[in-house]
Amino acid sequence: MRFNKPISKKRDGTFELKLGETERQLLKSLPNEVKQLLDDKDESTIRLRPITYSADPELEAEVIRLVGDDLVEHHKFALDTLSDTASESLVTEDQMVAWLQAINQVRLVLGTKLDVTDDEDSLRVATATNPAMVASYRYLSWLQSCAIEELS
C-alpha cells in the first residue's frame, strides 16, 4: 500500500501540507495540551526540561534557573507555531522546523505518559490500556519522519 506524503517541499522552499481534518485537529489540540502541562510542571514534561545529571543539587538548581525558563519558552513557541499553522496548506521552512520541534515535544510527553521505551513491546502494552494515545504517538512518529525527510 502506498501512502501520499503529508508533507512535500516545493521548489520555492515552502512546504505543502496534505492533511485531513482529523489530523489537523490533532495538531491543533495536542500542542495546547502540552503547553498546559508545561505550565503546570506536570511530571510528563520532565524530558522537556533541562537536566544536567549533576551530583550537585545546587549546580542543578542554578542550571535550571539560568536556562529553564528560556527552554520552556522555546518549546511553547514551537508548540504555538504547530497549533497556529495546522490549518494552513503551506508553511515556511522556519515553521516546518518549529513543527518538527513541536512534534518531537508532544511525542516525548506522550511517550512519558505511556511509559514507552525503545522496544516495541512497550508500545504493545500501552496499546492495551490507551489505544487512542498510542495511535497519536504512532501518527506523530510517522509525521516526524516525513518532516525530517522533507527538510533534509
**pLDDT tens digits, one per residue of 6-31:** 999 999 999 999 999 999 999 999 99
User: In whole angstroms, how far apart are CA 49 and each of 43, 64, 65, 98, 142?
Assistant: 10, 8, 11, 17, 24
User: Cα 146 vs. chain centroid, distance in angstroms?
Assistant: 13
pTM: predicted TM-score of the whole model, two decimal places: 0.87
Which pLDDT does position 124 carry in this prediction?
63
Q: Is residue 5 situated within a structural domain?
A: no
Instruction: Indicate the number of domains in the chain.
Output: 1
Q: Is residue 65 situated within a structural domain?
A: yes
Q: Is residue 147 situated within a structural domain?
A: yes
Q: Is residue 11 situated within a structural domain?
A: no
Q: Is residue 88 situated within a structural domain?
A: yes
Q: Is residue 1 situated within a structural domain?
A: no
What confidence tens digit (pLDDT) does each residue in 43-61 have?
999 889 867 666 888 887 7
Q: Say if residue 2's pLDDT is above 60.
A: no
